[in-house]
Amino acid sequence: GESVGLHLPTLSVQEGDNSIINCAYSNSASDYFIWYKQESGKGPQFIIDIRSNMDKRQGQRVTVLLNKTVKHLSLQIAATQPGDSAVYFCAEKNQAGTALIFGKGTTLSVSS
Amino acid sequence: GAVVSQHPSWVICKSGTSVKIECRSLDFQATTMFWYRQFPKQSLMLMATSNEGSKATYEQGVEKDKFLINHASLTLSTLTVTSAHPEDSSFYICSARGLGLGNEQFFGPGTRLTVL
């Protein structure tokens, strides 16, 4: 079946450190991936996306890396700030390409 | 731009009653809307996909007679939880995809449903 998962349920870092959040996906045909940030009691917020024809994409303080060989996706956050504390989900299109399938989430805690 | 709202933001109801949750795209036309359910400390689970003017497509295991979805216009979709029970208590989140906005889904802020 389709599944998208994350390696670690929690990640704790110090303010200013770089954070790396990982995700493994199972559908080798997936061609589009997204990272979302969800704060407590709120809906997911788009962070960055990447298509399968790319290995890397950079945004403001964030970088997404895609390794299609091992079906692995990662989100790197540079100079992590307390405001980055949230749950991070990776998502991919379902096999029909009509909707998103979410991974299990990693809770990022940033201490000052 | 591309804002999605939900109403209410939270609701408490008695077991056996029905609850309607609205999802609106405020500044774009939503050709497709999605409804997700999220239990505490868990991921978002897709419940159904609805296209304006047509019947919703439900995911396996989601009861269509219990979770009624209506997408009557390009800016509004509603989810009605019928005969709600405590196990239906959850965080319900909608998202929308719009004309000319590519693949991105824009998420609403969610509705917290508590069934007593």
- Kindly list the averaged pLDDT for each block of 10 residues, start to end, along chain B of length 116: 93 98 95 94 94 90 95 93 97 92 89 98
Give the pLDDT confidence score for residue A5 in this predicted structure.
Answer: 56
H or E element: which one contains A36? strand A32-38
- Tell me the helix, strand and coil percentages in chain B, rounded to 5: 5, 55, 45
Determine whether the interchain pair A102/B44 forms a contact, defined as Cβ–Cβ distance below 8 Å.
Answer: yes
Q: Given B44, B57, B103, which is nearest A44 (Cβ)?
A: B44
Query: Scanning every residue of chain B, which has its alpha carbon at the shortest distance from the alpha carbon of A47?
Result: B104
Confidence of residue A2 (pLDDT cuts 50, 70, 90): very low
| Cβ neighbours of A98 in B, within 8 Å | 32, 49, 57
* Residue A96 banded pLDDT, cuts 50, 70, 90: confident
Q: Report angle CA A102, A106, A109 to the nearest 5 degrees.
A: 145
